[in-house]
Amino acid sequence: MNSENTTITQELNNPKTKNGLQILLKTDEDDARPVYISGNFNNWRTQDKDFMMQKIGTDSYRFEFAPNFDYPKELLYKFTKGDWSEVEIDTLGNRTENRTTTKNSGILNEYVARWRKNWLPFKQSFLPQVLLISDEFEIPQLNKTRKIWALLPHDYDSSSESYPVMYLQDAQNLFNEKAPYGNWEIDKKLAVMAEYKIGKIIIIAIEHAEKDRIKEYNVGKTVLGKGQGKQYIKFVTETLKPFVDSNFRTKKEREFTGIGGSSMGGLISVFSGLMYPEIYGKLMIFSPSLWVVPKLTIDSEKTEDTKIYLYAGGHESETMIEHVKTFRKNIIASEFVKDKMKINLSINLEGKHNETYWSDEFPKAIEWLFFNSKA
């Protein structure tokens, strides 16, 4: 045994402090990410610096609760690498149940075999049902047709439940393994979320218009010219949504209805929420092309309690983060929406303008928008 392992063994077997409950953790899969304890004692926060474990070896960690810590009757907890997308799993990639103890002193020796990475791996049995609604769904507002998909919860056919709905742009890049620039892998992310008993939602994925994509996602007259965005938004809201509500078990109310997308798809989703706040209670806006309308303002007196998940990456453009921060500030400052909207601004300083980073953000956004009542 080398000197490092000897030191670790001494640390594990001869802890110096006995004041509070001490948790000693060993893991077979170590990396540079810190380890946190999340539980019913900190509202299950996954990146709580007060509960970050001390690394005492290449695969060993330690945490000691403060002497004055107020223990719940039963302590429930899990280990994460800072997010539910990076939570502990077992050797076969299965979710682990909550750990539990009634101790408030002494030592607990724990073990983690593996960690999730970006919500993966996933289980085939939890994959959503992918249904092609139509190859040529009519868009009367634009005199066109479009391919539209529905992703239904894995147990939709054996259930009688009704579900919230998220309308997403750019379906070609959401779950298509052959997409030239990669895809969001929303089917796989929804499978993992379903395994954790969250994320039971219907996704309506609308394919973009290929060469006319920018025109359809552009609203009014902008630096890109005259767009058809208002007609497109009317299609989704006045034609597609009624069809979906009539043919699937949906929760029709605005608090269960969302719309979202990335880049120009994010921009058209912003305008959808502004045009129809009585319809869309959740907006999922990733890397929106706000440069198209840099002076975007809120000029509607329709006020509703809306939740917006707003994401931007630090390596997208020189102005991306500045634009989303300004957009958030303008919304909050608006007399029409003041104290009405809840905005979660997520910034990844390493993030780039591509599907990989939007994929990582997708399950976090869905959970916060639809399944986090305390948010």
**How much is the pLDDT for 243?**
98
Domain shared by 88 and 175, yes or no: no
Let me know whether 134 and 20 are in one domain: no
Average pLDDT over all residues of the chain: 87
Q: Establish if 70 belongs to a structural domain.
A: yes
Whether residue 139 is found in the same domain as residue 96: no
What does each C-alpha distance from 116 to 78, 86, 121, 125, 188 come to in angstroms? 13, 4, 7, 18, 13
The boundaries of the domain holding residue 305 are 124-370
274-304 residue pLDDT tens:
899 999 999 999 999 888 876 665 544 555 6
Q: Are residues 345 and 205 in the same domain?
A: yes
Query: Does the pTM of the predicted model rise above 0.85?
Result: no
pLDDT, mean of residues 116-143: 93
* pLDDT of 1 strictly over 90: no
Let me know whether 59 and 86 are in one domain. yes
Report, as an integer, the average pLDDT of 128-141: 97
Query: Residue 339 pLDDT > 60, yes or no?
Result: no
187 and 322 housed in the same domain: yes
Q: Is residue 375 part of a domain?
A: no
In this predicted structure, the answer to whether residue 19 has a pLDDT above a threshold of 80 is: no
CATH label of the domain that carries residue 67: 2.60.40.10
The stretch 348-371 carries a mean pLDDT of 90
Instruction: Note whether 95 and 235 are same-domain residues.
Output: no
Tell me, what CATH number does 163's domain have? 3.40.50.1820
Mean pLDDT of 69-79: 95
Lowest-confidence region among 17-31, 75-89, 182-196: 17-31
Same-domain status, 145 and 99: no
Residues 189 and 111 in one domain: no
Q: Do 32 and 61 fall within a single domain?
A: yes
Does residue 59 sit within a domain? yes
Count: domains in the chain: 2
b/e map 174-198, b = 16+ CB within 10 Å? bbbeeeeeebbbbbbbbbbbbbeeb
Among candidate residues 115, 142, 164, the one where a domain is terminated: 115
Residue type, 185: E
Residues 188-228 have pLDDT tens digits of: 999 999 988 888 999 999 999 999 999 999 998 888 889 99
